[in-house]
Structure 1
Amino acid sequence: MRPAWTSITLALVSGLIGAAGFASLERLIPASGGERTRVEGVVHDYLMAHPEILPAAMDALRDRGHAETIAANRSAIYTPVGSAWAGSANPDVTLVEYFDYNCGYCRASLPTIAALLKSDPKIRIVYRDFPILAQSSVDAARMSLAAAEQGKFQAFHDALYAGGPVTAQSIAAAAKTAGVDAARAAAYAPRAEQEITSNETIARALGMTGTPSWVIGNKIVSSALPLEELQKAIAEVRAKK
Protein backbone atom coordinates (compact mmCIF):
# COMPACT_ATOMS: atom_id res chain seq x y z
CA MET A 1 0.00 0.00 0.00
CA ARG A 2 1.36 3.43 -0.92
CA PRO A 3 2.34 5.50 2.16
CA ALA A 4 0.11 8.48 2.93
CA TRP A 5 2.93 10.97 2.40
CA THR A 6 3.55 9.52 -1.08
CA SER A 7 -0.10 9.91 -2.05
CA ILE A 8 -0.14 13.50 -0.81
CA THR A 9 3.07 14.33 -2.65
CA LEU A 10 1.87 12.76 -5.89
CA ALA A 11 -1.46 14.60 -5.59
CA LEU A 12 0.39 17.88 -5.24
CA VAL A 13 2.64 17.06 -8.18
CA SER A 14 -0.37 16.10 -10.26
CA GLY A 15 -2.00 19.46 -9.58
CA LEU A 16 1.17 21.38 -10.31
CA ILE A 17 2.25 19.74 -13.56
CA GLY A 18 -1.11 18.61 -14.92
CA ALA A 19 -2.44 15.22 -15.91
CA ALA A 20 -0.13 14.73 -18.89
CA GLY A 21 2.97 15.61 -16.93
CA PHE A 22 1.89 13.44 -14.03
CA ALA A 23 1.35 10.48 -16.35
CA SER A 24 4.88 10.93 -17.65
CA LEU A 25 6.21 11.10 -14.09
CA GLU A 26 4.36 7.93 -13.09
CA ARG A 27 5.96 6.06 -15.99
CA LEU A 28 9.38 6.95 -14.59
CA ILE A 29 8.56 5.34 -11.22
CA PRO A 30 8.58 1.55 -11.16
CA ALA A 31 5.13 0.08 -10.57
CA SER A 32 6.26 -2.23 -7.78
CA GLY A 33 9.17 -4.00 -6.24
CA GLY A 34 12.37 -2.92 -4.60
CA GLU A 35 13.18 -0.18 -7.11
CA ARG A 36 9.91 1.60 -6.46
CA THR A 37 10.49 1.30 -2.72
CA ARG A 38 13.93 2.82 -3.19
CA VAL A 39 12.55 5.74 -5.24
CA GLU A 40 9.82 6.39 -2.69
CA GLY A 41 12.45 6.31 0.02
CA VAL A 42 14.49 8.94 -1.78
CA VAL A 43 11.41 11.16 -2.09
CA HIS A 44 10.56 10.63 1.56
CA ASP A 45 14.06 11.47 2.74
CA TYR A 46 14.15 14.58 0.59
CA LEU A 47 10.80 15.80 1.95
CA MET A 48 11.92 15.15 5.50
CA ALA A 49 15.07 17.17 4.86
CA HIS A 50 13.23 19.95 3.03
CA PRO A 51 9.67 20.14 4.47
CA GLU A 52 9.44 23.77 3.43
CA ILE A 53 8.72 22.72 -0.15
CA LEU A 54 5.31 21.30 0.77
CA PRO A 55 3.71 24.63 1.81
CA ALA A 56 5.25 26.21 -1.28
CA ALA A 57 3.83 23.43 -3.46
CA MET A 58 0.42 23.76 -1.84
CA ASP A 59 0.48 27.53 -2.41
CA ALA A 60 1.40 26.99 -6.05
CA LEU A 61 -1.40 24.45 -6.43
CA ARG A 62 -3.88 26.86 -4.85
CA ASP A 63 -2.74 29.70 -7.13
CA ARG A 64 -3.11 27.45 -10.17
CA GLY A 65 -6.66 26.64 -9.14
CA HIS A 66 -7.41 30.33 -8.67
CA ALA A 67 -5.95 31.14 -12.09
CA GLU A 68 -8.16 28.52 -13.73
CA THR A 69 -11.28 29.83 -11.96
CA ILE A 70 -10.43 33.41 -12.89
CA ALA A 71 -9.86 32.45 -16.53
CA ALA A 72 -13.20 30.63 -16.66
CA ASN A 73 -15.05 33.63 -15.19
CA ARG A 74 -12.94 36.50 -16.51
CA SER A 75 -15.80 38.59 -17.87
CA ALA A 76 -17.94 38.18 -14.73
CA ILE A 77 -14.97 39.23 -12.59
CA TYR A 78 -13.31 41.99 -14.58
CA THR A 79 -16.22 43.59 -16.46
CA PRO A 80 -17.78 46.18 -14.14
CA VAL A 81 -21.47 46.81 -13.79
CA GLY A 82 -22.02 50.23 -15.34
CA SER A 83 -19.85 52.78 -13.56
CA ALA A 84 -18.68 50.51 -10.71
CA TRP A 85 -15.03 51.18 -11.40
CA ALA A 86 -12.41 53.86 -10.88
CA GLY A 87 -9.10 54.78 -12.45
CA SER A 88 -7.92 54.40 -16.01
CA ALA A 89 -10.25 53.74 -18.92
CA ASN A 90 -7.34 51.92 -20.60
CA PRO A 91 -5.51 50.24 -17.70
CA ASP A 92 -2.48 48.02 -17.89
CA VAL A 93 -3.49 46.37 -14.60
CA THR A 94 -6.98 45.88 -13.19
CA LEU A 95 -7.66 45.07 -9.55
CA VAL A 96 -11.05 43.77 -8.45
CA GLU A 97 -12.31 44.47 -4.94
CA TYR A 98 -15.08 42.32 -3.48
CA PHE A 99 -16.56 44.44 -0.70
CA ASP A 100 -19.40 44.77 1.79
CA TYR A 101 -20.71 48.18 2.88
CA ASN A 102 -20.90 46.96 6.48
CA CYS A 103 -17.27 45.85 6.47
CA GLY A 104 -15.12 48.04 8.72
CA TYR A 105 -11.96 46.93 6.91
CA CYS A 106 -13.49 47.98 3.58
CA ARG A 107 -14.24 51.38 5.07
CA ALA A 108 -10.73 51.63 6.49
CA SER A 109 -9.31 50.82 3.04
CA LEU A 110 -10.92 53.84 1.37
CA PRO A 111 -7.95 56.20 1.93
CA THR A 112 -5.56 53.50 0.69
CA ILE A 113 -7.57 52.99 -2.48
CA ALA A 114 -7.71 56.74 -3.06
CA ALA A 115 -3.94 57.00 -2.59
CA LEU A 116 -3.35 54.08 -4.96
CA LEU A 117 -5.48 55.62 -7.69
CA LYS A 118 -3.73 58.95 -7.26
CA SER A 119 -0.25 57.41 -7.36
CA ASP A 120 -0.80 55.14 -10.36
CA PRO A 121 -2.73 56.50 -13.37
CA LYS A 122 -2.43 53.22 -15.28
CA ILE A 123 -4.59 51.05 -13.01
CA ARG A 124 -8.29 50.39 -12.76
CA ILE A 125 -10.23 49.17 -9.75
CA VAL A 126 -13.45 47.26 -10.39
CA TYR A 127 -15.87 47.13 -7.45
CA ARG A 128 -17.93 43.99 -6.92
CA ASP A 129 -20.61 43.85 -4.25
CA PHE A 130 -20.15 40.84 -1.97
CA PRO A 131 -22.78 41.39 0.76
CA ILE A 132 -22.16 38.74 3.41
CA LEU A 133 -22.40 40.52 6.77
CA ALA A 134 -26.05 41.53 7.17
CA GLN A 135 -29.35 42.01 5.41
CA SER A 136 -28.55 45.72 5.22
CA SER A 137 -25.43 44.72 3.24
CA VAL A 138 -27.68 43.04 0.67
CA ASP A 139 -29.99 46.05 0.54
CA ALA A 140 -27.03 48.38 0.07
CA ALA A 141 -25.61 46.14 -2.67
CA ARG A 142 -28.90 46.23 -4.56
CA MET A 143 -28.91 50.02 -4.54
CA SER A 144 -25.19 50.16 -5.31
CA LEU A 145 -25.75 48.08 -8.44
CA ALA A 146 -28.74 50.19 -9.45
CA ALA A 147 -26.64 53.32 -9.04
CA ALA A 148 -23.85 51.76 -11.11
CA GLU A 149 -26.30 50.88 -13.87
CA GLN A 150 -27.31 54.55 -13.94
CA GLY A 151 -23.70 55.76 -14.03
CA LYS A 152 -23.83 57.03 -10.43
CA PHE A 153 -21.87 54.40 -8.55
CA GLN A 154 -19.13 56.62 -7.12
CA ALA A 155 -21.58 59.26 -5.93
CA PHE A 156 -23.66 56.61 -4.15
CA HIS A 157 -20.55 54.82 -2.83
CA ASP A 158 -19.16 58.01 -1.29
CA ALA A 159 -22.51 59.16 0.09
CA LEU A 160 -23.28 55.83 1.77
CA TYR A 161 -19.87 55.62 3.41
CA ALA A 162 -20.25 59.20 4.57
CA GLY A 163 -23.70 58.49 5.99
CA GLY A 164 -22.64 56.42 9.00
CA PRO A 165 -24.10 52.98 9.79
CA VAL A 166 -25.79 51.18 6.91
CA THR A 167 -29.54 51.31 7.41
CA ALA A 168 -32.60 51.60 5.19
CA GLN A 169 -32.56 55.32 5.93
CA SER A 170 -28.89 55.86 5.09
CA ILE A 171 -29.22 53.82 1.88
CA ALA A 172 -32.20 55.90 0.77
CA ALA A 173 -30.41 59.13 1.68
CA ALA A 174 -27.29 58.11 -0.26
CA ALA A 175 -29.39 57.20 -3.29
CA LYS A 176 -31.10 60.58 -3.14
CA THR A 177 -27.77 62.40 -2.80
CA ALA A 178 -26.38 60.49 -5.79
CA GLY A 179 -29.48 61.23 -7.87
CA VAL A 180 -30.49 57.59 -8.35
CA ASP A 181 -33.80 57.25 -10.18
CA ALA A 182 -35.99 55.18 -7.83
CA ALA A 183 -38.30 53.80 -10.52
CA ARG A 184 -35.37 52.76 -12.68
CA ALA A 185 -33.69 51.18 -9.65
CA ALA A 186 -36.82 49.15 -8.91
CA ALA A 187 -36.96 47.91 -12.49
CA TYR A 188 -33.31 46.89 -12.27
CA ALA A 189 -33.84 44.87 -9.07
CA PRO A 190 -34.02 41.39 -10.71
CA ARG A 191 -30.76 42.06 -12.58
CA ALA A 192 -29.15 43.26 -9.36
CA GLU A 193 -30.14 40.01 -7.64
CA GLN A 194 -28.55 38.01 -10.46
CA GLU A 195 -25.35 40.04 -10.14
CA ILE A 196 -25.16 39.51 -6.38
CA THR A 197 -25.68 35.77 -6.81
CA SER A 198 -22.98 35.64 -9.49
CA ASN A 199 -20.53 37.58 -7.31
CA GLU A 200 -21.16 35.30 -4.35
CA THR A 201 -20.79 32.13 -6.43
CA ILE A 202 -17.50 33.22 -7.96
CA ALA A 203 -16.17 34.58 -4.66
CA ARG A 204 -16.84 31.24 -2.96
CA ALA A 205 -15.21 29.38 -5.85
CA LEU A 206 -12.14 31.57 -5.36
CA GLY A 207 -12.03 30.75 -1.67
CA MET A 208 -13.00 34.23 -0.49
CA THR A 209 -14.25 34.11 3.09
CA GLY A 210 -14.39 37.79 3.99
CA THR A 211 -14.09 41.34 2.78
CA PRO A 212 -12.29 43.10 1.36
CA SER A 213 -11.03 40.41 -0.98
CA TRP A 214 -8.96 41.24 -4.03
CA VAL A 215 -8.36 39.67 -7.40
CA ILE A 216 -4.93 40.88 -8.48
CA GLY A 217 -3.70 39.22 -11.64
CA ASN A 218 -4.26 35.54 -11.01
CA LYS A 219 -3.99 35.76 -7.23
CA ILE A 220 -6.58 36.16 -4.49
CA VAL A 221 -5.92 38.16 -1.34
CA SER A 222 -8.59 38.22 1.37
CA SER A 223 -7.57 41.06 3.64
CA ALA A 224 -7.18 44.81 3.81
CA LEU A 225 -3.80 45.60 2.27
CA PRO A 226 -1.54 48.57 2.95
CA LEU A 227 -0.64 50.77 0.00
CA GLU A 228 2.84 49.27 -0.31
CA GLU A 229 1.47 45.73 -0.60
CA LEU A 230 -1.00 46.73 -3.30
CA GLN A 231 1.75 48.48 -5.23
CA LYS A 232 3.98 45.42 -4.89
CA ALA A 233 1.23 43.15 -6.19
CA ILE A 234 0.62 45.46 -9.15
CA ALA A 235 4.34 45.52 -9.95
CA GLU A 236 4.39 41.71 -9.96
CA VAL A 237 1.51 41.59 -12.44
CA ARG A 238 3.27 44.11 -14.70
CA ALA A 239 6.52 42.17 -14.54
CA LYS A 240 4.77 39.08 -15.93
CA LYS A 241 3.40 40.89 -18.98
Structure 2
Amino acid sequence: MIERLLGNRLALAGAFVLCALLGAALFAAIQALVPGMGARGQGEQAMRQWVLAHPEVLLESVERYNQKQSASADKAQAEAVAAAEKTLPAERPKLEAPYAGAWAGNPKGDVTLVAFMDYACGYCRASLPAIEELLKRDPNVKVVYREYPVLGPDSLVAARWALAAAEQDKFRAFHDALFATDGPSAANIEAAAQKAGLDMGRAKQVAQSRAVEGEIVTNHKFGQKLAMTGTPSWVVGGKLLYGMRDYAGLAAAVTEARKGK
Protein backbone atom coordinates (compact mmCIF):
# COMPACT_ATOMS: atom_id res chain seq x y z
CA MET A 1 0.00 0.00 0.00
CA ILE A 2 2.78 2.45 0.95
CA GLU A 3 4.66 1.68 -2.25
CA ARG A 4 1.51 2.27 -4.33
CA LEU A 5 0.84 5.60 -2.62
CA LEU A 6 4.44 6.65 -3.07
CA GLY A 7 4.32 5.63 -6.70
CA ASN A 8 1.13 7.65 -7.24
CA ARG A 9 2.63 10.69 -5.60
CA LEU A 10 5.76 10.46 -7.72
CA ALA A 11 3.68 10.06 -10.84
CA LEU A 12 1.55 13.07 -9.90
CA ALA A 13 4.60 15.16 -9.12
CA GLY A 14 6.14 14.08 -12.40
CA ALA A 15 2.96 15.03 -14.22
CA PHE A 16 3.00 18.53 -12.74
CA VAL A 17 6.63 19.04 -13.70
CA LEU A 18 6.12 17.70 -17.17
CA CYS A 19 2.99 19.76 -17.70
CA ALA A 20 4.91 22.88 -16.76
CA LEU A 21 7.80 22.03 -19.08
CA LEU A 22 5.47 21.02 -21.86
CA GLY A 23 3.46 24.18 -21.43
CA ALA A 24 6.56 26.36 -21.67
CA ALA A 25 7.78 24.47 -24.73
CA LEU A 26 4.42 24.69 -26.46
CA PHE A 27 4.09 28.38 -25.74
CA ALA A 28 7.55 29.03 -27.19
CA ALA A 29 6.75 26.89 -30.22
CA ILE A 30 3.43 28.62 -30.84
CA GLN A 31 5.04 32.02 -30.56
CA ALA A 32 7.61 30.98 -33.15
CA LEU A 33 5.08 29.45 -35.53
CA VAL A 34 2.25 31.97 -35.35
CA PRO A 35 3.28 35.39 -36.72
CA GLY A 36 2.50 38.32 -34.47
CA MET A 37 1.27 36.20 -31.58
CA GLY A 38 3.24 37.68 -28.73
CA ALA A 39 0.51 38.11 -26.14
CA ARG A 40 0.68 35.50 -23.43
CA GLY A 41 -3.08 35.23 -23.20
CA GLN A 42 -3.35 34.27 -26.86
CA GLY A 43 -0.51 31.80 -26.55
CA GLU A 44 -1.97 30.13 -23.48
CA GLN A 45 -5.35 29.79 -25.15
CA ALA A 46 -3.79 28.22 -28.23
CA MET A 47 -1.68 25.94 -26.08
CA ARG A 48 -4.74 24.87 -24.08
CA GLN A 49 -6.63 24.02 -27.25
CA TRP A 50 -3.71 22.01 -28.57
CA VAL A 51 -3.32 20.04 -25.31
CA LEU A 52 -7.07 19.34 -25.19
CA ALA A 53 -6.87 18.04 -28.72
CA HIS A 54 -3.82 15.85 -27.91
CA PRO A 55 -4.19 14.63 -24.28
CA GLU A 56 -2.21 11.49 -25.06
CA VAL A 57 0.94 13.62 -25.13
CA LEU A 58 0.69 14.30 -21.40
CA LEU A 59 0.08 10.64 -20.61
CA GLU A 60 3.02 9.59 -22.76
CA SER A 61 5.25 12.16 -21.06
CA VAL A 62 4.30 10.94 -17.58
CA GLU A 63 4.90 7.33 -18.63
CA ARG A 64 8.35 8.17 -19.99
CA TYR A 65 9.17 10.12 -16.85
CA ASN A 66 8.22 7.15 -14.65
CA GLN A 67 10.24 4.79 -16.83
CA LYS A 68 13.32 6.99 -16.49
CA GLN A 69 12.87 7.27 -12.73
CA SER A 70 12.45 3.50 -12.41
CA ALA A 71 15.50 2.81 -14.56
CA SER A 72 17.56 5.24 -12.51
CA ALA A 73 16.44 3.63 -9.24
CA ASP A 74 17.18 0.14 -10.59
CA LYS A 75 20.64 1.20 -11.68
CA ALA A 76 21.40 2.76 -8.29
CA GLN A 77 20.21 -0.38 -6.48
CA ALA A 78 22.26 -2.66 -8.75
CA GLU A 79 25.36 -0.55 -8.07
CA ALA A 80 24.70 -0.64 -4.33
CA VAL A 81 24.32 -4.43 -4.37
CA ALA A 82 27.50 -4.88 -6.41
CA ALA A 83 29.41 -2.72 -3.94
CA ALA A 84 27.89 -4.61 -1.00
CA GLU A 85 28.85 -8.00 -2.41
CA LYS A 86 32.45 -6.85 -2.57
CA THR A 87 32.39 -6.46 1.19
CA LEU A 88 30.98 -9.95 1.81
CA PRO A 89 34.26 -11.91 2.00
CA ALA A 90 35.35 -9.84 4.98
CA GLU A 91 31.91 -9.89 6.62
CA ARG A 92 30.95 -13.55 6.13
CA PRO A 93 32.67 -15.00 9.22
CA LYS A 94 30.75 -12.58 11.45
CA LEU A 95 27.52 -12.93 9.45
CA GLU A 96 27.57 -16.71 9.64
CA ALA A 97 28.29 -16.85 13.37
CA PRO A 98 24.87 -17.10 15.06
CA TYR A 99 23.86 -15.38 18.27
CA ALA A 100 23.62 -18.19 20.82
CA GLY A 101 21.02 -20.68 19.55
CA ALA A 102 19.60 -18.58 16.71
CA TRP A 103 20.29 -21.16 14.03
CA ALA A 104 18.93 -24.38 12.55
CA GLY A 105 20.10 -27.30 10.44
CA ASN A 106 23.56 -28.83 10.28
CA PRO A 107 26.03 -26.98 12.55
CA LYS A 108 28.83 -28.10 10.23
CA GLY A 109 26.94 -27.56 6.98
CA ASP A 110 28.98 -26.73 3.90
CA VAL A 111 26.67 -23.80 3.02
CA THR A 112 25.24 -21.27 5.45
CA LEU A 113 22.06 -19.38 4.65
CA VAL A 114 21.76 -16.16 6.65
CA ALA A 115 18.20 -14.86 7.01
CA PHE A 116 17.47 -11.29 8.15
CA MET A 117 13.87 -11.15 9.38
CA ASP A 118 11.29 -9.03 11.18
CA TYR A 119 8.37 -10.60 13.06
CA ALA A 120 5.96 -8.02 11.64
CA CYS A 121 6.98 -8.84 8.07
CA GLY A 122 4.41 -10.80 6.07
CA TYR A 123 6.97 -11.69 3.41
CA CYS A 124 9.19 -13.19 6.13
CA ARG A 125 6.29 -15.31 7.33
CA ALA A 126 5.57 -16.37 3.75
CA SER A 127 9.21 -17.48 3.35
CA LEU A 128 9.19 -19.81 6.35
CA PRO A 129 7.87 -22.87 4.48
CA ALA A 130 10.72 -22.50 1.98
CA ILE A 131 13.30 -22.51 4.78
CA GLU A 132 11.65 -25.51 6.39
CA GLU A 133 11.62 -27.45 3.14
CA LEU A 134 15.25 -26.58 2.48
CA LEU A 135 16.23 -27.89 5.91
CA LYS A 136 14.32 -31.13 5.31
CA ARG A 137 15.69 -31.75 1.82
CA ASP A 138 19.27 -30.62 2.33
CA PRO A 139 20.98 -32.12 5.39
CA ASN A 140 24.15 -30.15 4.71
CA VAL A 141 22.74 -26.63 5.11
CA LYS A 142 22.97 -24.40 8.14
CA VAL A 143 20.51 -21.52 8.59
CA VAL A 144 21.52 -18.55 10.73
CA TYR A 145 18.74 -16.18 11.79
CA ARG A 146 19.59 -12.53 12.30
CA GLU A 147 17.06 -10.33 14.05
CA TYR A 148 16.47 -7.24 11.91
CA PRO A 149 13.59 -5.23 13.41
CA VAL A 150 12.69 -2.42 11.01
CA LEU A 151 8.90 -2.29 11.19
CA GLY A 152 8.27 -0.53 14.47
CA PRO A 153 8.56 -0.78 18.26
CA ASP A 154 6.75 -4.12 18.51
CA SER A 155 9.25 -5.64 16.08
CA LEU A 156 12.10 -4.45 18.29
CA VAL A 157 10.55 -5.96 21.42
CA ALA A 158 9.96 -9.23 19.57
CA ALA A 159 13.58 -9.30 18.37
CA ARG A 160 14.82 -8.82 21.92
CA TRP A 161 12.69 -11.72 23.16
CA ALA A 162 13.81 -13.92 20.27
CA LEU A 163 17.44 -13.37 21.25
CA ALA A 164 16.58 -14.05 24.87
CA ALA A 165 15.01 -17.32 23.69
CA ALA A 166 18.19 -18.09 21.74
CA GLU A 167 20.17 -17.88 24.99
CA GLN A 168 17.89 -20.57 26.42
CA ASP A 169 18.31 -22.73 23.29
CA LYS A 170 14.64 -22.21 22.46
CA PHE A 171 14.95 -19.80 19.56
CA ARG A 172 13.14 -21.91 16.97
CA ALA A 173 10.28 -22.68 19.36
CA PHE A 174 9.75 -18.98 20.05
CA HIS A 175 10.39 -17.96 16.42
CA ASP A 176 7.82 -20.41 15.04
CA ALA A 177 5.26 -19.67 17.75
CA LEU A 178 5.39 -15.91 17.20
CA PHE A 179 5.29 -16.14 13.41
CA ALA A 180 2.20 -18.35 13.78
CA THR A 181 0.34 -15.38 15.32
CA ASP A 182 -1.02 -12.29 13.58
CA GLY A 183 1.93 -10.12 14.59
CA PRO A 184 4.30 -9.14 17.41
CA SER A 185 1.87 -7.55 19.88
CA ALA A 186 2.74 -7.65 23.56
CA ALA A 187 0.15 -10.36 24.13
CA ASN A 188 1.43 -12.47 21.23
CA ILE A 189 5.05 -12.13 22.32
CA GLU A 190 4.20 -13.30 25.83
CA ALA A 191 2.08 -16.16 24.50
CA ALA A 192 4.90 -17.28 22.17
CA ALA A 193 7.39 -17.13 25.03
CA GLN A 194 5.10 -19.23 27.21
CA LYS A 195 4.54 -21.72 24.40
CA ALA A 196 8.28 -22.02 23.82
CA GLY A 197 8.75 -22.82 27.51
CA LEU A 198 10.99 -19.89 28.36
CA ASP A 199 12.09 -19.03 31.84
CA MET A 200 10.13 -15.77 31.78
CA GLY A 201 12.07 -13.98 34.52
CA ARG A 202 15.41 -14.76 32.93
CA ALA A 203 14.12 -13.90 29.45
CA LYS A 204 12.91 -10.46 30.59
CA GLN A 205 16.35 -9.66 31.98
CA VAL A 206 18.24 -10.92 28.94
CA ALA A 207 15.90 -9.09 26.52
CA GLN A 208 17.07 -5.80 28.06
CA SER A 209 20.74 -6.76 28.27
CA ARG A 210 23.64 -5.03 26.57
CA ALA A 211 24.45 -8.22 24.69
CA VAL A 212 21.03 -8.29 23.05
CA GLU A 213 21.15 -4.56 22.34
CA GLY A 214 24.58 -4.98 20.77
CA GLU A 215 23.41 -7.83 18.57
CA ILE A 216 20.53 -5.78 17.16
CA VAL A 217 22.81 -2.79 16.53
CA THR A 218 25.30 -5.09 14.78
CA ASN A 219 22.57 -6.52 12.56
CA HIS A 220 21.43 -3.06 11.52
CA LYS A 221 25.02 -2.17 10.65
CA PHE A 222 25.18 -5.32 8.52
CA GLY A 223 21.99 -4.21 6.80
CA GLN A 224 23.45 -0.82 5.95
CA LYS A 225 26.65 -2.33 4.60
CA LEU A 226 24.76 -4.90 2.54
CA ALA A 227 22.27 -2.51 0.89
CA MET A 228 19.27 -4.03 2.66
CA THR A 229 16.13 -1.93 2.31
CA GLY A 230 13.72 -4.31 4.01
CA THR A 231 12.97 -7.87 5.04
CA PRO A 232 13.48 -10.64 4.37
CA SER A 233 17.04 -10.28 3.14
CA TRP A 234 19.44 -13.16 2.64
CA VAL A 235 23.14 -13.93 2.40
CA VAL A 236 24.06 -17.22 0.73
CA GLY A 237 27.73 -17.74 0.15
CA GLY A 238 28.97 -14.64 -1.63
CA LYS A 239 25.55 -13.55 -2.88
CA LEU A 240 22.86 -11.21 -1.55
CA LEU A 241 19.16 -11.84 -2.09
CA TYR A 242 16.25 -9.57 -1.23
CA GLY A 243 12.57 -10.25 -0.70
CA MET A 244 10.45 -13.34 -0.28
CA ARG A 245 11.87 -16.60 -1.64
CA ASP A 246 10.28 -19.97 -2.31
CA TYR A 247 12.05 -23.29 -1.89
CA ALA A 248 13.29 -23.34 -5.50
CA GLY A 249 14.87 -19.91 -5.10
CA LEU A 250 16.67 -20.78 -1.89
CA ALA A 251 17.79 -24.18 -3.18
CA ALA A 252 19.19 -22.58 -6.34
CA ALA A 253 21.15 -20.07 -4.26
CA VAL A 254 22.58 -22.88 -2.12
CA THR A 255 23.56 -24.87 -5.21
CA GLU A 256 25.32 -21.82 -6.66
CA ALA A 257 27.15 -21.27 -3.37
CA ARG A 258 28.41 -24.87 -3.43
CA LYS A 259 29.71 -24.44 -6.96
CA GLY A 260 31.71 -21.44 -5.81
CA LYS A 261 33.56 -23.38 -3.10
Question: Does TM-score exceed 0.5, indicating one fold?
Answer: yes
Per-residue deviation, 1:74: 2.8
Q: Matches of 2:242 and 2:79 in 1, distance apart? A: 17
Residue 173 of structure 2 corresponds to 155
Please tell me whether residue 70 in structure 1 is matched to residue 88 in structure 2. Answer: yes
SS at match of 2:87: helix
Please tell me whether residue 217 in structure 1 is matched to residue 247 in structure 2. Answer: no
Q: Which amino acid aligns with 2:129?
A: P
Q: Which moved more, 1:230-239 or 1:181-190?
A: 181-190
| CA RMSD after TM alignment | 2.0
Q: Matches of 1:140 and 1:94 in 2, distance apart? A: 24
Residue 60 of structure 2 corresponds to none
- The equivalences for 1:43-54 within 5 A come to none
Q: 1:91 to 1:169 in 2, by over 3 A?
A: same
Per-residue deviation, 1:60: 8.3
Give structure 2 stretches of 5+ with no counterpart: 1-73
SS at match of 2:155: helix
Give structure 1 stretches of 5+ with no counterpart: 1-54
SS at match of 1:109: helix
Please tell me whether residue 199 in structure 1 is matched to residue 199 in structure 2. Answer: no
Residue 187 of structure 1 corresponds to 205
- Residue pair 1:94, 1:216 contacting (<8 A) in 2 also: yes
Match of 2:119 among 94, 101, 109: 101
Residue 138 of structure 2 corresponds to 120
Please tell me whether residue 172 in structure 1 is matched to residue 194 in structure 2. Answer: no
Q: Which moved more, 1:157-166 or 1:191-200?
A: 157-166
Residue 33 of structure 1 corresponds to none
Normalized against structure 1, the TM-score is what? 0.72
Residue 134 of structure 1 corresponds to 152
Q: Which amino acid aligns with 1:93?
A: V
Aligned length: 185
Q: Which amino acid aligns with 1:119?
A: R
Q: 1:61 to 1:202 in 2, by over 3 A?
A: closer
Per-residue deviation, 1:117: 0.9
Q: Matches of 1:61 and 1:180 in 2, distance apart? A: 40
Residue 251 of structure 2 corresponds to 231
Q: Matches of 2:186 and 2:248 in 1, distance apart? A: 36
- The equivalences for 1:70-89 within 5 A come to 70-89=88-107
Q: Matches of 2:93 and 2:85 in 1, distance apart? A: 14
SS at match of 1:74: helix
Q: Matches of 1:234 and 1:154 in 2, distance apart? A: 21
Partner deviation per Cα, 1:19-64 (whole Å, 9 max, x = no partner): xxxxxxxxxxxxxxxxxxxxxxxxxxxxxxxxxxxx99x958843x
- Residue pair 1:66, 1:219 contacting (<8 A) in 2 also: no
Q: Which amino acid aligns with 1:216?
A: V
Per-residue deviation, 1:84: 0.9
Partner deviation per Cα, 1:187-230 (whole Å, 9 max, x = no partner): 32221111111000111110000100000111111111121121
Q: Which amino acid aligns with 1:70?
A: L
Per-residue deviation, 1:66: 2.7
